[in-house]
Amino acid sequence: MGNTGFIIFLALLSAFVPLSTDLYLPALPEMTKFFAVPEIVMNLTLILFFVFYSIATLFWGPLSDRYGRRPILLVALTLYMLASILCGIATNAYEIIFFRILQAIGGGVATTVATAVIKDVFVGRKQETTLAIVQSMVVISPAVAPVIGSLLLTFISWRGIFFAQALLGLSVIYGSIIFKETHASESGTTSVMKSFGRLGALLLNPGFTALLVTFSLMSIVSLSYISSSSYIFQDTFHLSSRMFSLFFSFNAIGMLLGPLVYIPLSKYIDRFTIIYASFGITIVAGILVLMFGQMTPIAFALTQFPATLASSAVRPPGTYLVLKQEENDNGSASALYSAGGTIFGSIGMVIVSVAEATPIAAIAWINIIMGAICGVLLLVSMTFLRKKIII
């Protein structure tokens, strides 16, 4: 692959979750009307995707430690591709929900293995920098995907979007075929049950678990916005799907800038200072959304932007700090980190779905409460850190 190709491959793997959701976000209102179901039913295609995605990561991570990264990628990504095709030919909303679950199970391998591979190959400052670069490339997908999805809807129906996801799966399968293994198989020395048992052993490390919970909670901020944005812009503010994609892309720039801003800042400012500042910015953004966000779509996008930027900026140092607590079991540690983020993110999606009458206020309070909770939890987590974090 070469170094550039290797980084692009890892970024594409890590982008599987946003591409599996954001590409069809502009079609959600249309799909809701097409199948004549309540909004909450169609939102289950998002909520259950993240629930089963998080469960799947807990299996794929330990299995990749036992059998190697490459064979696990090939099996899971093939399932993802087939499930995408089935979504495209579904005849009712409940079929799509079921096939999206299959998509989630297959796609659950991507982020877990991508993070594990980075930890397999890189160490210290290079590891944190690579995480930031990959994640900054990853968040381009939320900016581009809704625009592409909106453009696709002008030529094809929502079904074609799922076929596009199948093509995405096929491209990553090809990358996995030429991918050079970074972790030797342990199938001859470790039982399957012992591999899964490492998940529990990791959770018994108080430093790992404390940081895992702290940074996973920030996913509530990002995923609650992602899941409700199409309804806020199209139903609350009565914008077209194309206009929604433009507003969504504006906020997605914050997702892109977060890791890119963190890289140079971390050379001069302590990472914990940046993290605490990000939590504070999230709180301030929530207050601004509460005060001004309901006025116009521009006001909502502008006031939500700082929270989007801040939640993205804590991802590279958060990932690094969590994984630094364990030097072994990269696949299992990455699985728990991926699962934690998606589980808590799914909670945020449920909250905004329940509060569908006042989604903007729900987003505002999520920003305020999560920013405050994460700040307090990080202070508490410092007590449990098993080792000094150095680069």
Give the integer Cα–Cα distance in Å for 277 and 107. 33
- Radius of gyration for the chain, computed over Cα atoms and rounded to the nearest angstrom: 20
pLDDT, residue 99, reads 94
Contact 9, 175 (CB under 8 A): yes
> Averaged over 272-287, what is the pLDDT?
94
pLDDT above 90 (res 168): no
> Averaged over 33-45, what is the pLDDT?
84
pLDDT above 70 (res 103): yes
Which regions of the chain carry the CATH code 1.20.1250.20? 1-179, 191-390
The CATH number for 191-390, chosen from 1.20.1250.20, 3.30.930.10, 1.10.3720.10, 3.40.50.150, is 1.20.1250.20
pTM for this prediction = 0.70
pLDDT above 90 (res 331): no
Give the integer Cα–Cα distance in Å for 315 and 217. 11
Contact 109, 64 (CB under 8 A): yes
Question: Three-state SS string across the chain, please?
Answer: CHHHHHHHHHHHHHCHHHHHHHCCHHHHHHHHHHCCCCHHHHHHHHHHHHHHHHHHHHHHHHHHHHHCHHHHHHHHHHHHHHHHHHHHCCCCHHHHHHHHHHHHHHHHHHHHHHHHHHHHHCCHHHHHHHHHHHHHHHCHHHHHHHHHHHHHHHHCCHHHHHHHHHHHHHHHHHHHHHCCCCCCCCCCCCCHHHHHHHHHHHHCCHHHHHHHHHHHHCHHHHHHHHHHHHHHHHHHCCCCHHHHHHHHHHHHHHHHHHHHHHHHHCCCCCHHHHHHHHHHHHHHHHHHHHHHCCCCHHHHHHHHHHHHHHHHHCHHHHHHHHHHCCCCCHHHHHHHHHHHHHHHHHHHHHHHHHCCCCHHHHHHHHHHHHHHHHHHHHHHHCCCCCCCCCC
Pairwise pLDDT comparison (264 vs 125), residue with the higher score:
264
pLDDT, residue 24, reads 77
Q: Which residues make Cβ contacts (< 8 Å) with residue 33, sequence separation at least 6?
A: none
Instruction: Report the CATH number of the 1-179 domain.
Output: 1.20.1250.20
pLDDT, residue 391, reads 41
Give the integer Cα–Cα distance in Å for 256 and 156. 29
